[in-house]
Amino acid sequence: LAKITQPISMDSYEGQEVNITCSHNNIATNDYITWYQQFPSQGPRFIIQGYKTKVTNEVASLFIPADRKSSTLSLPRVSLSDTAVYYCLVGDLVDSSYKLIFGSGTRLLVRP
Amino acid sequence: ETGVTQTPRHLVMGMTNKKSLKCEQHLGHNAMYWYKQSAKKPLELMFVYNFKEQTENNSVPSRFSPECPNSSHLFLHLHTLQPEDSALYLCASSQELGQGLYNYGYTFGSGTRLTVV
């Protein structure tokens, strides 16, 4: 099964840029990389998705190197409300069966 | 509201009870999923339905029984659960099921917090 690794936790301060990296060395060739944000007692919420190079939207950027074995979620100028758990999601081919795999999540704490 | 509604939000049940969790989406999605989220564990996929047909059962014990009467509704029937089944149960939907999330991926509900006593 795909080994997806993320840091367990990160601390930051308001106004700083936060970069969270996910390692996914068995990503399926045609698959995209998706990041989700989850607040307590809520379901994960889509943040950003990409296939390669760089993707940017109104809340985040996603950097994907050429080998696609990792990805970095970048949150510019975080605020207290960005305190949440961040998950990356990739697909993997396991015994010819396609599976979607969530990472174990990175708990981000933003301090004043 | 995300477009995926789960009821109830909280449920406490005894080990001999029978209860059901409900999920409803009106996003026009064709695939629906049940996930289990326990403390200190990653999201665990339980069941996948595509156009009302079950396409995946991820080795889930038979005390969990899913039902998908149509593409908009998904149920999880529970009976004789164990205390270790206490968790947040999340329903999700996606436009389609297939290799590559070339759409906006999953839309999750807020979950049902289940406590088995």
* Residue A112 to residue B32: CA distance in whole angstroms: 39
Q: Is B101 an interface residue toward A (CB < 8 Å)?
A: yes
Length of chain A: 112
Q: Is A106 an interface residue toward B (CB < 8 Å)?
A: no
Please name the residues in contact with B110: beta carbons below 8 A apart, sequence gap of 6 or more: A41, A42, A43, B2, B6, B9
| Tokens matching residue B18 | 């029978």
* Residue A85 to residue A109: CA distance in whole angstroms: 9
Which of A34, A46, A102 is closest, CB to CB, to B43? Answer: A102
Mean pLDDT of chain B: 89
Phi and psi torsions of B83, nearest 5°: -55, -30
Residue pairs between chains A and B whose CB atoms are closer than 8 Å: 61
Task: Name the residue among B89, B43, B56, B31 with its Cα closest to residue A89.
Answer: B43
Nearest CA in chain A to B58: A99
Q: pLDDT tens digits for B11-63?
A: 999 999 999 999 999 999 999 999 999 987 778 889 999 888 888 888 899 99
In which element (H, E) is residue A4 found? strand A4-5
* Residue A62 to residue A74: CA distance in whole angstroms: 6
* Tens-level pLDDT at each residue, chain A (112 residues): 557 899 999 999 999 999 999 998 888 777 889 999 999 888 999 999 999 889 999 999 999 999 999 999 999 999 999 999 999 998 766 666 666 788 899 999 999 9
Please name the residues in contact with B11: beta carbons below 8 A apart, sequence gap of 6 or more: B19, B21, B112, B113, B114, B115
Which of A32, A36, A104 is closest, CB to CB, to B100? Answer: A32
| Tokens matching residue B112 | 């049902």
Are A34 and B4 a contacting pair at CB < 8 A? no
Q: Is A28 an interface residue toward B (CB < 8 Å)?
A: yes
